[in-house]
Amino acid sequence: MTVILDEAEAAWMATTERVVFKTKLFLENFEKCCGNRRQFAKRYILTLYDYLVQNALFHDMKQLKKEIKHHFEKTKASKVDIYGKLERSRATIRSLQDRPIDEHKYINCKPQVCAGAALISSIAAKRDSEHGMEEKIQLIILQLRLLQAFMQDLEGLEVQSETGMVWVEEANEIIGETQRALETFIRRTERRFFIFSNQMARHKLKKDIKSIDAGFFDLFKQKERYGFNFIKRGPSKSVTPSPQKKENEIRNVPVLSNFNDKKQSWLNQVPDSLTGEHEQVKSLIDQLGHLHLLYEKAEANEAVNNCRKAWLDQMELTAKEAEETIVAIIKDQAEKNNLFENTNYGDSMFQFTELLLDPYKITLLIPGNNGIYKGRHVVKLLMEIERMKKVVTLFDRSIKVYGIEVREESTSVVGLEEDIHVVLSRLITNSEPIVSIVGMRGIGKTTLAKMIFNHRAVSNHFHYRLWVSIPQNSFGNKLLKDVGKQVLGGPDSQEEQYEREYWIEKLHNFLWEKKYLLVLDNISTKEAWDTLEAAFPKTTNGSKIMLTTRHNTVASHADESSTQHLLRLRTKEESWGLFTQMVHLPPELPPESEKSIKAKVVGRCGGLPLAIFRLGYLMSGKDVTEENLLTALENISQYQKPWMEGVAIEELSDELRKCLSYTRLFPRDYEIPARRLVASWVAEGLVQRNASEPEDAAEEYLSDLINHYMIQVLERKLNGNIKTCCLPNALRENCLQGESLPERSAGQFDRGDAIFNLIHGKDRDSSPILPDYGNLVSFLSFDPREGNKPGEDIRNFLHRGIASGCFPELKVLDLERVFRPILPNTIGNLIKLSYLGLRWTFLEDIPPSIGNLTNLQTLDVKHTYISKIPGSTWKLKKLRHLYLNQSYRSKFVLPSGTTLKNLRTLWGVFVDEDSPLKNGLDGLTNLRKLKLAFQLKLSQQEALAEWILQLNHLQSLRLRSIDEMGEPLELQLKPLSSLKNLSSLYLFGKLKDPSIMNQLPESLTDLTLSASQLSDDPMPKLGELPKLRSLCLYSGSCNRTSMVCSEGFPILQVLKLWNLDTLKSWDVHEGAMKNLRELEIRSCNNLKSATGLTCLESLQELKLTNMPEDFNQEIHEEFAEAEIQYPNRVIHSPTLITC
């Protein structure tokens, strides 16, 4: 890891390196001297040479100590904090990195802690042998208790820096040293010669305590000086417990309760006349007050459970002893005062005789002499004050030093929510013994494996969980040893010499009969798997192996029958979510600048978490602006290597390679609509794979490229289908740089492009089209300008090209988003044209000569001002996809007897009484996608419903029954259960026959209802649809006051409830919607109760939009209470968004 240093820090580093070098040299000379001494030990003679060498070493050591001390003092004065800077950099890196900066190192201190705990009990039983050292021993025992508790909290924690690991080792050494000192003391006090052995034991213990105390002091000092953190990862939670619940969880401690009232009472009972004692009592009370504040601080520290308990227990004990001292002093003072006030020498001879028999009372009556009284209590008070100061200081420092930082996994888990659910399900419910996580470097394999490994459901299901990081330069027997060390713990020196069979047998026996989850992280070769496989017993007790690898061949080799879990690149929103969690966006950043920054981040990083993480690290600690983003982007090119390593373009088929190259026609960072890419591939004839429909084959091509990390999905539709995608920048610049694009051209309005002058520059009027464009197959334009100029330039370019005969082979003319590109009348001469894209051009008309384009397959005029297409369009017998603009009520009037049998998509058409259904629309029987709005009488809708039932290949259906103002009318439909291929259904209008909801096809994957006015609860029947993934119930879809989801919806992932004005209660039973990921409740203003949402175990995002505050608070409390009420159940706290 590289950290940029300023001038002062660089000077500090140079001095440090010099001091370290001198220290290493000194240690080498010291070791050499010690070796020589051992070699000549038999002589028993100290030669002059030895003396001179030792004297020189002693001198060097003094100089080094002085230099190191001076260096630390200078560091403190200059406030140079390189380690802090390094730790902050590490913290930023860890927030996203898929594996630690160093290799996995886990803390193991159970034997030390257990042995130490036993010794504390033993030493506590020997109070009679502690004479003269009781206070020191108690302080050491207190330090030992607290350190042991902290080491228990660190048990199994992953240490991610060398400094932290060294600190842990030193802490273990101190525990061991204390253990040996206590053992020696106990052993010596048990010897036969009791008095002499006790004296020697106390002397030895006194010396050891001094050394141990210095060790504890150094331990605190090192942690405070270097400032490194121990980190525990925790899941992200956005649900906040209710204030009342939080208050009830506060621990009630009688010893430290009502402290302020007690303090005032104590001070009132100590008279001011006893000035010395009053101040001393006040000092002790102040120490107790400080302890009270530390108690509250310790109680709030929930990250260190064992240490927290030790703090609280020891503080209660300390406070109790201090209170007893205070109360005893006050009581004795009261007795003294009472004695003086109530004693009258003349009252009776009996009282006087009683007084003479009590020497203590006689001393109190001697005028001006109460020294014996003071000696008895003041010394004890002073000792208690001194002890309290030391104990409070110890508590204070230990609370600061013995800390674990809990960090949410929200950054690294972004985009992995569904992966976690799928892999968890496979581990816990499926019978497959091996689960493989596959993906390129930096994609998040280790991050996902860690999330699974630490998941509560996994720890509850498997009795043993074992994590193994596969060494990359380890093979054969060495590999088995390395894995054995991680599974079994470090072997002794004798085991190092054993061969393969020994390690196989030992691992096999250890795992046998255990129900375990074994993670093999980053296994890279088939040979590595073959080496290890024999050590893993084949059991039927539910044990699993989860491996991560970059190579699908390795995963297949490990288990051919198991389905690999392939990780994907992050989408646009996921990438932005990762980035914005690492950096600071200034609130004054204009929306346009944020949009530009977002596009650059998403485009340059390609959805790879490693690249996003590197960019975020470079931007951390500074406001994100377009200027400093560009600077940072120049420095992330080296982090694009995963594509260079993991993407093998040469292994692609010719068709896939051509399809991939086609994406280079789109500008950098451009969001490519998937339907645009698929239609272009089909139009060019790039799709050669056998399929009933070329579009299906093209979509398979797209999926293949996505799975090879060559195309990044930017956005998906609610039903999971791809909406937009892009070419990762690393592929564009590195892997596809040499790929030529013959016969294809894209006008990107870049003055550096050769075609710029022909379309927009100085040659646009005078020069003919160059011969290079004579065989042009595809032309795309990306002119971002507004006004008339883009349209005029395109018309001029096409007119000159067609006139000069340069475009006879043109198949794709894609002008999407070019403002009003005027098409010349000669466009009909492009007889090979297959794709004409005019979406979002706001064009008002197209020339009638379009009817001559007899090979045209796709005509897209969606989001234009075209209300009626030319009648010549009906001559396009090969037309497969027609997109119209429904907003402008584009009518579709087929001449009588005309059919377009190849038409697969009819989208955005408006039908009214003037649009013939019979011998018109009803002739279109091969439609796959149909979107139409209509204004028809119910009798006319009968014919429409009959025609729809004839569309046996229909996959997507969107119907809107509207009046002149776009308001809903009655919608007449017949049961759709016969449409076996229908997957997407959208209905807008009051259903004339609501019973059709009971007869929907089982093939439905997404359903949207609006203005349906259903009087019955639709949830029971809709829950029976086995493939439904998305359900949207919009305004007026249901008139019920209550809805119940008792079961069903087996794979539903998205549910939206919008503007359901009549809905008052919604109840979700356990077992319903088990796979729901996203839930949005919007503007359901009368909804008072939504119970059972905590049963949605897969819920990742709960969005409450325009909902009453009381309702939002109730949802918060329901999740908080469920976590407390069901501690052993996996309660998912989704990301809760209220807006």
User: For 228-240, what is each residue's pLDDT tens digit?
Assistant: 777 775 544 333 3
Q: To the nearest whole percent, how much of the chain has pLDDT over 90?
A: 29
Q: How confident is the model at residue 253 (pLDDT cuts 50, 70, 90)?
A: very low
Q: Rounded to whole angstroms, how far apart are CA atoms 633 and 618?
A: 9
CA-CA distance, 179 to 171, in Å (whole number)?
A: 12
Least confident interval from 205-209, 610-614, 906-910: 205-209
Please state which of the ranges 431-445, 635-649, 1070-1084 shows the lowest mean pLDDT: 635-649
Strand partners, 1057: 1033, 1081
Q: Is 128 helix (H, G, I), strand (E, B) or coil?
A: helix
What pLDDT score does 385 carry? Answer: 78
List of residues 6+ apart from 356 with CB closer than 8 A: 362
How do residues 100-148 score in pLDDT, each as one tens digit?
Answer: 434 445 455 544 444 444 444 455 444 444 455 677 788 888 888 888 8
Q: Identify the pLDDT of residue 129.
A: 44
Whose CA is closest to 753, among 773, 724, 775? 773
Question: pLDDT tens digits, residue range 795-844?
Answer: 888 888 888 778 889 999 999 999 999 899 999 999 999 999 999 999 98
Tokens read off for 543: 């044990």
pLDDT of residue 353: 46
Q: Which CATH number fits domain 110-234: 1.10.10, 1.20.5, 3.40.50, 3.60.70?
A: 1.20.5
pLDDT score of 242: 34
Check: CB of residue 1042 under 8 Å from CB of residue 1063. Answer: yes
Mean pLDDT of the chain: 79
pLDDT of residue 346 exceeding 60, the answer is no
Domain extent listing, the chain: 7-80, 110-234, 244-406, 417-566, 584-644, 648-739, 1005-1139
- The larger pLDDT score, comparing residue 193 to residue 55, is at 55
Q: Is the pLDDT of residue 972 over 90?
A: yes
**C-beta separation of 388 from 318 below 8 A:** yes
* CA distance to 350, 365, 917, per residue, from 899 (Å): 134, 128, 12
For residue 1139, pLDDT over 50 is answered with: yes
**Residue at 527: amino acid letter:** E
Tens digit of pLDDT for each residue in 758-806?
777 665 555 555 566 778 899 999 988 888 888 888 888 888 888 877 8
Amino acid 763: pLDDT: 59
Assess whether pLDDT exceeds 50 at residue 265: yes
Region of 60 on the Ramachandran plot (φ > 0 left; ψ -120 to 50 alpha; else beta): alpha
Residue whose tokens read 């990083």: 605
Q: 1015 vs 2, which has greater pLDDT?
A: 1015
Q: How many CA atoms lie within 13 A of 549 on its CB side?
A: 22
70-89: average pLDDT:
66
Sheet holding 712-716, edge to edge: 672-673, 722-726, 712-716
Question: Is residue 992 within 8 Å of 1016, Cβ to Cβ?
Answer: no
Least confident of 159-163, 424-428, 518-522, 702-706: 159-163
Fold entry, domain 417-566: Rossmann fold (3.40.50)
Q: What is the arithmetic mean of pLDDT over 706-710?
A: 92
Span of 193-207, 432-446, 918-932, 973-987 with lowest mean pLDDT? 193-207
- How far apart (Å, rounded) are the C-alpha atoms in residues 720 and 716? 6
Helix segments in 581-622, DSSP class H: 591-605, 609-619
Pairing state between β 434-438 and 544-549: parallel
Which amino acid makes up residue 952? Answer: N
pLDDT at 996 over 90: yes
pTM: 0.71
> Higher model confidence: residue 451 or residue 674?
674
Proportion of the chain above pLDDT 70, given as a percent: 76
**CA count, 13 A, side-chain hemisphere, 24:** 6
CA atoms within a 13 Å half-sphere pointing along the CA-CB vector of 108:
10
Per-residue pLDDT of 450-463, as tens digits, reads 989 988 888 888 98
| Phi and psi based region of residue 1049 (left: phi greater than 0; alpha: psi -120 to 50; beta: remaining) | left
- Nearest to 377, CA basis, from 267, 260, 284, 256: 284
**Confidence class for position 1125, pLDDT limits 50, 70, 90:** low
- What integer is the mean pLDDT of 1013-1028? 94
Confidence of residue 746 (pLDDT cuts 50, 70, 90): confident
Answer whether CATH 1.10.10 is correct for domain 648-739.
Answer: yes
Name the amino acid, one letter, at 70. H
296-300, 417-421, 625-629 — which one is most confidently predicted on average?
417-421
Q: What's the rounded mean pLDDT across residues 409-424?
A: 75
Measured in residues, the chain has a length of: 1139
Query: Taking residues 422-430, what's their average pLDDT?
Result: 87
Name the range with the highest mean pLDDT among 77-86, 385-394, 937-946: 937-946
Residue 1129, pLDDT > 70, answer no
Identical fold between 417-566 and 648-739 = no
Is residue 666 pLDDT above 60, yes or no? yes
pLDDT of residue 804: 79
Average pLDDT over residues 862-881: 89
Q: Is 83 exposed, middle or buried (0-12, 13-18, 19+ CB in 10 A)?
A: middle
Whether the per-residue pLDDT at 2 is higher than 60: the answer is no
Question: Residue 194: exposed, middle, or buried by beta-carbon count in 10 A (0-12, 13-18, 19+)?
Answer: exposed
